Amino acid sequence: QLKILSTALLSVIILHKALGRVKWLALILLTAGAALIQLPSGDSNVFASKAGGDPVVGVGAVLFACLTSGFAGVWFEWILKASKVSIWMRNIQLALYGVVLGFVTAMMKDREKIVENGFLQGYNWVVWMVILLQAVGGLIVAAVLKYADNILKCFGNAASILLTCAVGYYFLGDFEPSMPFGVGTCCVIASTYLYSVGASLRPIFDTLGMTKFSKSGMPSSMEGVQMGLMRSEEKERHSHAHP
């Protein structure tokens, strides 16, 4: 889930997106909440070491994957917003690469079965529904990137994890809520609220002095109050001088 923070950081660097302290706090809460939600429940030890594994290489690979994944999403958002090409054309262009690579991989692994029984062997209505959902989901993600941004997509991904867990609990019976899941759910809800009302909370942070310092060395909010008092005193002196 570090992809959330890497996406936000790359959005600031590449797209020059402005994120205040409240929104960064919301993103940190979202990262923690999404990680807690996905912790496996039960007696399984998620920190159990595996024989032959290298923790340094594993952590490095995860961090590199987070950066590359976040960079791909931010770059795709920049392409969609910077060019006049429609979403449909961009999706077709990207899908062509996937079709070619998928076809080559399928022929390399299952060429004999494909030649014998055809490429669509075993396809039923469930498979077609999955394909349809994947296609519609891709179009929705492209629309979110074009008309919103990658950060809001991260909030949508966290909400989809919660929805999947709810479906698994109420309909499939293959999920049992745990304490980390409850804490993670609260973090996701709180982060969504903080991110959506971040601008309206700015006066509170200004009152507490949690703003950037101006050139005079004092918080910008206090300097604004001081300037207002100086203007009031100047007007008062001016009114006494010219009754």
Full DSSP string of 1-57: -THHHHHHHHHHHHS-----HHHHHHHHHHHHHHHHHTSPPSS--TTPPPTT--HHH
Six token digits for residue 180: 């980390």
pLDDT band for 127, please (50, 70, 90 cuts).
Answer: very high
- The sign one gets for the Cα dihedral 165, 167, 168, 170 is positive
Instruction: With a cut of 50, say whether residue 212 has pLDDT above it.
Output: no
Q: Quick one: pLDDT at residue 121? A: 87
**Selected residue with higher pLDDT from 203 and 69:** 69
- From residue 110, alpha-carbon distances to 5, 73, 128, 226 in Å are 40, 32, 20, 76
Q: Quick one: pLDDT at residue 155? A: 92
pLDDT band for 30, please (50, 70, 90 cuts).
Answer: very high
* Closest by CA position to 70, among listed 137, 124, 128, 14: 14
What pTM was estimated for this model as a whole?
A: 0.71
Q: What is the pLDDT of residues 85-122, one digit of tens each?
A: 888 888 888 888 888 998 999 999 988 888 888 888 88
**Selected residue with higher pLDDT from 127 and 230:** 127
- From residue 85, alpha-carbon distances to 66, 94, 196, 198 in Å are 28, 13, 30, 33
Q: What is the pLDDT of residues 51-70, one digit of tens each?
A: 566 788 888 998 999 999 99
